[in-house]
Amino acid sequence: MNTGTDTPGTLADPIDSTRIKADFPLLSTTRAGTGHDRLITYLDSAATAQKPQAVIDALTNYYETTNANVARGVYELAEASTNAMEAARRKVAKFINAPAANEVIFTKNATESLNLVARSWGGTNLGPGDAVVLTQLEHHANIVPWQILQAEKGFEIRWIPVDANGHLDLTDLDRFLDGAKVVGLSAMSNVLGTLTPMRRIADAAHAAGAVVTVDACQYVPHLPTDVVEMGADFVSFSAHKMCGPTGVGVMWGKAELLDAMPPFLGGGGMIENVTQEGFKPAELPHKFEAGTPPIAEAVGLGVAVDYLSALGMDAVREHEVRLTSYTLRTLADRFGDKLTIHGPSEPAERGGVFSLELADVHPHDLSQVLDEHGVCVRAGHHCAKPLMKVLGVGATARASVYIYNDESDVDALADSLEAAASFFSF
Amino acid sequence: MAGLEDLYREIIIDHYRSPRNRGELDTPPATRTEGFNPLCGDEIVVYLQLGEGTGDERVIEDIRIGGQGCSISQSSASMMSMSVKGKTIAEARDIMRSFKAMMSIHESSLDDSVEEPEIEVDEMKLGELEAMRGVVKFPVRIKCATLSWNTLDQGISEALA
């Protein structure tokens, strides 16, 4: 798996963030701030990415020129709308190297994607005596669906632990996988930035007879993604973290598994036939897309994919490795032991997500002072409370970078952290 | 535009640095109630020891606070513990109502354009808690300030049950 170069600094950054920033109206327009209008320093892309003008225009353009319900009408406009959505599906399939476009299911978000896997595959295949293996890195979206199902089906949930450096501890992997039917795995931690050894775990899981469902929300927007090379059976992610609109997510799955699974939600669009006696589900992907799908949002996602593809995902990764390296170095230089940055210390082993703890300043208070300086970070448990417990903290302040961030944003973060330290100079 | 000084008043920082009534009580006879802010992960534990008597006339003989969280949630809990200790349940509920009114909490207001109803804030009852008034200017932080009070409310119900 290509996780990027580990020798940043030898060549020019392949991404010109100043030029990129100009594509994002929210980042290139001043906003009312404390006492004066200012540009914000947006460091919360792990929560949601900002949108380039092209994506914003795609939504308007769809509604102005193409809006009709999909896969229903025979009139020309309905066909154009259907074609627009299916073109977006093919773009997404190509972007993640899916073997077939009909393996790409549009959902409302990654959470729905992960619930679909748990409910449809897990609900059919799990029972007492079975085991589901999760990692302590997981987001609640890859935990709670299994816990809901566990209450019904009575299987065991096992947890792959995290070591002191924020990596998965795979010492007992074989023991965890013994009798396991599912492995639920985050490709990149939304708290620590840890990149997990997906292929190794997937191969071991398959050898043990388990399927692998990957939460790739933090991975697909930031690294070249090849679902075949990952070795996963299901890969879930959301559009809004990769410059696309909110309201649409993706669940990719292997066709032979999807074909054998029952539908998740029932309704219009997902059937081939319905009688008083029962129904026959539609073919993939429509079998899993009940009701009117997020059409405009899917089209917008297609444009986001175009935008990222034009930059090149290798370049995106290279840029973020460089910026991660700069961030770790800058914060260590300026704050030393006063600032804890959780997670792996090697830029090549992590993404640009930094969970920060500034001595004696609670993350919530920290982010309040940062906001005063126009710096947007996320404070809280990041929907990963089991991981917070492992880290021994209630919350962290999380800064995360993307294509439009550069060294000046990291410097602004460091300046505002200094202001916070001085404001709360206990 | 509200500044940080409106939020982080000196007395709030003082309660955060040196929280009052911090600790635990034996359960039973005391009750233990947990409150969570699911948005930020703040946790408050309220231990209550009520005196003899019936219903709202019972006195909060002792109160202890546990948990972890930001300066606003922790200082609010500390001030709350001081303000209700030794008071009857009825008096504690009065203070709670005044505090929530100060926090501008009005249930079921659906229309943004409607003027907020004026609920009288009894400043006499609030005392030191007045310092929390600045929180209202930072709407996301209101939940931090009210977490301990909601937990107290729940704790009283459990202690009386």
Each residue's pLDDT tens digit, A383-393 = 999 999 999 98
Is the per-residue pLDDT at A108 higher than 70?
A: yes
Q: Which residues of B touch A388 (CB under 8 A)?
A: 41
Rg (CA), chain B: 16
Q: Which residues of B touch A379 (CB under 8 A)?
A: 40
How many separate domains does chain B show?
1
Name the nearest CA neighbour of B15 among B68, B62, B71.
B71
Angle of helix B71-84 relative to helix A363-372, nearest 10 degrees? 120
Reported as a pLDDT band with limits 50, 70 and 90, residue A1 is: very low
Q: Which residue of A has its CA nearest to B139?
A: A368
pLDDT score of B107: 46
Is the per-residue pLDDT at B118 higher than 60?
A: no
Reported as a pLDDT band with limits 50, 70 and 90, residue A5 is: very low
- Token pair 């909060």: residue: B60
Catalytic residues of A: 383
pLDDT score of B110: 54
Q: Is B40 on the interface with A (CB under 8 A)?
A: yes
Q: Residue B126's domain is classified under what CATH number?
A: 3.90.1010.10
Nearest to A35 among B1, B73, B138 (CB): B1
Beta strand A37-38 with A104-107 is unpaired
Is the per-residue pLDDT at A8 higher than 50?
A: no
pLDDT score of A165: 94
Name the nearest CA neighbour of B19 among B61, B72, B95.
B72
Is the per-residue pLDDT at A87 higher than 80?
A: yes
Is the per-residue pLDDT at A82 higher than 90?
A: yes
Each residue's pLDDT tens digit, A63-74 = 999 999 997 778
Residue A203 CA to chain centroid, in angstroms?
22
Reported as a pLDDT band with limits 50, 70 and 90, residue B33 is: very high
> Which tokens sit at B120?
């009288």
Mutation target among A34, A364, A366, A416 for the B interface, most CBs of B within 10 A: A364
Rg (CA), chain A: 22
Domain range holding B89?
Answer: 4-106+117-160
Q: Residue A341: in which H helix or E strand, if any?
A: strand A339-342
Residues of chain A with CATH 3.40.640.10: 55-310
Reported as a pLDDT band with limits 50, 70 and 90, residue A2 is: very low
Note whether A378 and A398 are within 8 A (CB).
yes
Q: Residue B61: in which H helix or E strand, if any?
A: strand B60-68
Report yes or no on B148 lying in a domain: yes
Contact A426 B17 (CB under 8 A): yes
Mean pLDDT of A158-171: 97
Is the per-residue pLDDT at A21 higher than 50?
A: yes
Q: Is B8 on the interface with A (CB under 8 A)?
A: yes
d(CA A343, CA A191): 8
> Which tokens sit at A343?
């997670």
Check whether domain A55-310 has CATH 3.10.20.740, yes or no: no
Q: Is B35 on the interface with A (CB under 8 A)?
A: no
d(CA A232, CA A103): 13
| Burial (0-12, 13-18, 19+ Cβ within 10 Å), A61 | middle
DSSP A278: -
Each residue's pLDDT tens digit, A197-231 = 999 999 999 999 999 999 999 999 999 999 999 99
> Which tokens sit at A191?
């708290």
pLDDT score of A3: 47
pLDDT score of B105: 66
Is the per-residue pLDDT at B114 higher than 70?
A: no
**Nearest CA of chain B to the CA of A60: how many Å?**
27
CB pairs under 8 A between A and B: 50
Please state, for a pLDDT cut of 70, what percent of chain A lies above it: 96
Nearest to B41 among A388, A423, A424 (CB): A388
**Nearest CA of chain A to the CA of B37: how many Å?**
10
Q: Which residue of B has its CA nearest to A371?
A: B4
Q: Which residues of B touch A365 (CB under 8 A)?
A: 8, 70-72
Contact B71 A365 (CB under 8 A): yes
Mutation target among B7, B9, B14, B70 for the A interface, most CBs of A within 10 A: B70
Is the per-residue pLDDT at B116 higher than 70?
A: no
Q: Which residue of B has its CA nearest to A384?
A: B41
CA distances from B108 to B114, B118, B132 (A): 12, 15, 23
Contact B41 A35 (CB under 8 A): no
Reported as a pLDDT band with limits 50, 70 and 90, residue B5 is: confident
Is the per-residue pLDDT at B109 higher than 60?
A: no
- Token pair 């032991």: residue: A337
pLDDT score of A384: 93
Is the per-residue pLDDT at A6 higher than 50?
A: no
d(CA A14, CA A19): 12
Q: Which residue of A has its CA nearest to B44?
A: A394
Least confident of A91-100, A160-169, A361-370: A361-370
Residue type, A161: P
Please state, for a pLDDT cut of 90, what percent of chain A lies above it: 90
Reported as a pLDDT band with limits 50, 70 and 90, residue A34 is: low
Mean pLDDT of B19-34: 94
Reported as a pLDDT band with limits 50, 70 and 90, residue B122 is: low
Name the nearest CA neighbour of A104 among A196, A229, A239, A200.
A239
Report yes or no on B126 lying in a domain: yes
- As a whole number, the mean pLDDT across chain A is 94
Least confident of A58-62, A375-379, B116-120: B116-120
Q: Which residues of A touch B41 (CB under 8 A)?
A: 380-381, 385, 388, 394-395
pLDDT score of B128: 82
Q: What is the DSSP string of B122-135?
A: -HHHHGGGGGGGGG
Q: Residue A183: in which H helix or E strand, if any?
A: strand A180-186
d(CA B152, CA B148): 6
Residues of chain A with CATH 3.90.1150.10: 17-52+312-423
- As a whole number, the mean pLDDT across chain B is 86
d(CA A185, CA A203): 13
Check whether domain A17-52+312-423 has CATH 3.90.950.20, yes or no: no
Report yes or no on B111 lying in a domain: no
Is the per-residue pLDDT at B70 higher than 50?
A: yes
Q: Which residue of B has its CA nearest to A395?
A: B41
| Maximum CA extent, chain A | 71
Q: Which residues of A touch B17 (CB under 8 A)?
A: 426
Return all residues near B117 (Cβ < 8 A) that are at least 6 apart. Answer: B106
pLDDT score of A412: 97
Each residue's pLDDT tens digit, A288-324 = 999 999 999 999 999 999 999 999 999 999 999 999 9
pLDDT score of A191: 97
- Token pair 């007879």: residue: A209
Residue A90 CA to chain centroid, in angstroms?
20
Nearest to A365 among B39, B41, B70 (CB): B70
Mean pLDDT of B2-12: 83
Name the nearest CA neighbour of A262 among A287, A285, A232, A279.
A287
Beta strand A353-358 with A339-342 is antiparallel
CA distances from A295 to A178, A302, B111, B142 (A): 42, 11, 30, 37
Contact B39 A380 (CB under 8 A): yes
Mean pLDDT of A160-183: 97
Please state, for a pLDDT cut of 70, what percent of chain B lies above it: 86
Is the per-residue pLDDT at B112 higher than 90?
A: no
Is the per-residue pLDDT at A11 higher than 90?
A: no
